[in-house]
Amino acid sequence: MTAAVAIESVHKVYSNVHVVNDLSLTIEPGEVFGLLGPNGAGKSTTIRMLTTLTQPTQGEIVVAGYDVIRQPFGVKKQIGVVLQQTSVDMDLTVWENMEFHGRMHHIPKDRRKKEIIRWLEYVELLDRRDDLVKTLSGGMKRRLQIARALLHQPQILFLDEPTVGLDPQTRRRLWEIIKGLNQQGMTILLTTHYMEEVEYLCHRIGIMDSGKLIELGTLDELRQRHGEGLLMKQDGDRWDYHFFPTMQDASAYLEQQPDKTGMMIRPSNLEDIFVELTGRNLD
Ligand code: ADP
């Protein structure tokens, strides 16, 4: 099966700064892939290259079977994109935003109407069809962006921090929407800072730092690689973390300590691994 996304030895250099440095990565059809990394790691630049908004300085990127440099229009037809900045037009209605996007993609009138209704219904915005976008809440605007990105029936959806700035309830609603799309067969690549988002949605995770992919795998694989048991030890006002292969190993170590003051054990999570790898917190 052709990969949904194939990135081969890709570099992006902005005025002598290596923003993406020798990135190779394959995403399979039907996957939800989460790209994590501290600010400035190169995640957005990677998404911008995958979605033809900027070209790689070096290397090859094939999306849905099309080369991003030689066949950008082929790529654009097959992808839906929701970037961080709200790109919907605030002074148009919900329907007009959808209509405009549908026309840009040359979707014939009858199908356009059917698809607009289908996707507005899916993101539960059909009852707001005649409202100006500027009157919608942040979560509704994000849902509209997703509906619009799906209108031309793409195979792959790119979501750059889809739930940033949204309250927990709204975030969960978006997760359901994203999960439902994946269950319908959509391949999804998202960037996020939220651990629960990764745990709930992503089959595989890639962690980037300083333009490089420094970790790749499922959450279980990452935990096995770094250690499933964690011992936390309070040292003044900071905590030291020690990974152990299993919880039993962490527990056995703790038992042997004559002074257990300020020590506790628990299963490791993605946040622990992220901090260990990047020296920074996820948020
Ligand atoms: P992330 O999404 O992981 O926070 P970005 O891809 O936005 O990271 O940015 C990675 C680095 O590239 C940052 O240091 C940023 O300042 C730099 N950068 C991004 N876009 C440009 C640009 N158009 N020109 C110059 N530098 C850029």
- pLDDT per position as a tens digit, 154-186: 999 999 999 988 888 889 989 999 999 999 999
**For position 197, what pLDDT does the model report?**
93
Would you state the pLDDT for residue 283? 62
Please check whether residues 202 and 72 belong to one and the same domain: yes
In the chain, alpha helices (H):
43-50, 72-78, 94-104, 109-122, 138-150, 168-183, 195-201, 219-226, 247-256, 270-278
Instruction: Among 18, 36, 45, name the best residue to mutate to test ligand 1's pocket (greatest count of ligand atoms within 8 A of Cβ).
Output: 45
Q: Please identify every stretch of the chain with a pLDDT value under 70, giving residue numbers as ranges.
A: 1, 282-283
Q: Which atom of ligand 1 is least distant from the CA of 211? A: 10
Q: What is the structure's pLDDT at 167?
A: 87
Instruction: Tell which residue, 193, 185, 189, 192, has the closest CA to residue 203.
Output: 189
- pLDDT for res 282: 63
- Say yes or no: CB of residue 211 within 6 Å of ligand 1: no
Among protein residues, the one with the nearest Cα to ligand 1's atom 12 is: 19
* Residue 130: predicted pLDDT: 97
| pLDDT value for 87 | 81
- In 10 A of CB 151, how many CB atoms? 23
Tell me, yes or no, whether 209 lies in a domain: yes
- For residue 277, is it within any domain? no
Whether residues 256 and 139 fall in one domain: no
Which residues span the domain enclosing 76?
5-217
Contact 24, 9 (CB under 8 A): yes
Q: Is the CB of 19 under 6 A from ligand 1?
A: yes
Q: Would you say the CB of residue 12 lies under 6 angstroms from ligand 1?
A: no
Same structural domain, 72 and 152: yes
How many angstroms does the Cα of residue 45 sit away from the middle of ligand 1?
6
Are 209 and 241 contained in the same domain? no
Q: Are residues 81 and 182 in the same domain?
A: yes
Point out the ligand 1 atom lying closest to the alpha carbon of residue 41. 3
Whether residue 66 is found in the same domain as residue 157:
yes
> Based on the domain organization, do 181 and 260 belong to the same domain?
no
Which amino acid residue places its CA nearest to atom 25 of ligand 1? 14
Q: What are the contacts of 106-113 at 24+ separation with CB within 8 A?
A: 107/151, 107/152, 112/151
What's the confidence (pLDDT) of residue 182? 97
Residue 278 falls inside a structural domain: no
Give the pTM. 0.92
- The closest of 45, 41, 61 to 208, measured between CA atoms, is 41
State the Cα–Cα distance between residues 145 and 143, nearest whole angstrom.
Answer: 5
